[in-house]
Amino acid sequence: MAYNPNNANGQATMANSAPVVIASDQSNLPENLTQVGGSAISLGQKAVAASLPVVLASNQSDVPVATSPAAIVVTPTSNSMAALNATVTYQVEAGAGLFLTLTNGPGATTAWVGTVTFQYSTDAGASYNSLTVMPVAAPANSAATTTATANGLFFVSAPPATNVVAGASTVYIRANMTAYTSGTVYFFAQSTAVPNARFLLPWIYSVTSGQTLVGPIEATGISEVAIQLSAVTTTVLTAQGSNDPTLATWQTIPVIQSNAAAASVTTMTAAATYRFNPNGYKWFRIQVTTTGTVLTVQGVAAVLGQQVVLNSIGGDLGVTINSGTVTTVSTVSNITAGTITTVGSVTAVAAINSVATTNGLSIGTVVTTATPATTSIKATAGRLYHISVGNPNATAVYLKIYNVAAPTLGTTAANMNYLIPATSQTTIPINDIGIFFSTAIVFAVTGGISLTDNTSISAGCAVSYSWI
């Protein structure tokens, strides 16, 4: 480099600058970076092209990364298929573990006939590929498949994807009716990462003795199974469990009617909702043990990881009644290994250990309209146990619940008001004893937060609920 002794003070080119020797004890010199690659640098978040590259040291400590549980992002407005090429599509987080259910609709009396193909898309639905799923069933029926010609429960891990919604990589999962003859099949998806997840089980319409109505299904991780029957006359159903890999040997599992005072029974012979605990068995099923004239199934559901509500299944419940007399007892079926010493003032206890035919937990679901309208869960006093809302809209909606038999939207103030985020599935937290409504249980979904709001939304929401 040439040195120009006539260089004037001030900034100059390298060729016209004097060399500088930095002392060995020179303090740090401040750096003032103003450009990188010809682009000006300023503080604040920038795009990749306007950002400085960063090299992590070889001994860099762990960098925390926030993640959310794998879940369903967008639910369909309808779950039924009854035509060639009909589809039901869910948008889920990539990598999510999912239960997929093909089943009949409430009260179905015939089986659907056709072929359903499982598919996925990583480009927001522009193109689809076949999806391999694993049946959750008996050993002989557990081969991986991409199609189904009958009802079934399947497990799948959603493939990786590049489409991002609300900070999560998402993928489309759908069922496609690629061949169709008759009937209606329903398709449901449920994330296994949701605590206490409830998911539908497949059931096959049949009133023939010896036919299997539900199953065989692997019981691993399932804490409770419930079946709702709206009409049963002389048909008899039995819940059964097996640890035999050949499924040749089955044992009866006691069942109990939901919210009934009766003890557990071994058969289902009345219209009610029945629950049983399949724990201790590898597989379970619901069997038609006696052919009848009427059998109407509204639905079958299972719960993952939920502690079973205390009931008389699997053990005795001790009761002490002190200081008094029992006035009237119609039936006491069995008292073992004990003595009733003192009973105090119990008046008119009727039919203990009888099979109740009412007060079972009822379930329902509805797709609301875009123009708000009320839905009556129960027109009289009752107790709400579960309600969830699938919001497909790009904006939040509001679930309004009324303790009024006939609320007027826009005038009547809601007793409960919940915000449901955009494109989400939200379950309202309710404890095991439920929420009591003294007059009625009615709800509506609107677009505004006001307790008297009646704003329309872009698309209807899927609402599922249970009550007594």
Chunked mean pLDDT (size 10), the chain, 468 residues: 55 67 70 54 61 67 52 87 94 86 85 93 88 80 84 86 61 93 92 78 81 85 86 86 88 82 77 86 88 83 62 43 57 60 59 50 91 94 93 95 95 94 92 89 96 95 93
The pLDDT value recorded for residue 204 is 84
Q: How far is CA 418 from CA 71, 77, 248, 382, 427, in A?
A: 20, 20, 50, 20, 10
Q: What is the pLDDT of residue 212?
A: 87
Q: What is the pLDDT of residue 317?
A: 43
What residues does CATH 2.60.120 cover in the chain?
362-467
Classify 362-467 by CATH class. mainly beta
* CATH number assigned to the domain covering 72-194: 2.60.40
Model pLDDT, residue 68: 46
Residue reference for tokens 């609300």:
166
pTM for this predicted structure: 0.50
What lies within 8 Å, CB to CB, of 175 at 6+ separation is 81, 87, 88, 100, 102, 116, 117, 118, 119, 185, 187
Q: Indicate where the chain has its CATH 2.60.40 domain(s).
A: 72-194
Instruction: Note the pLDDT of residue 52.
Output: 64
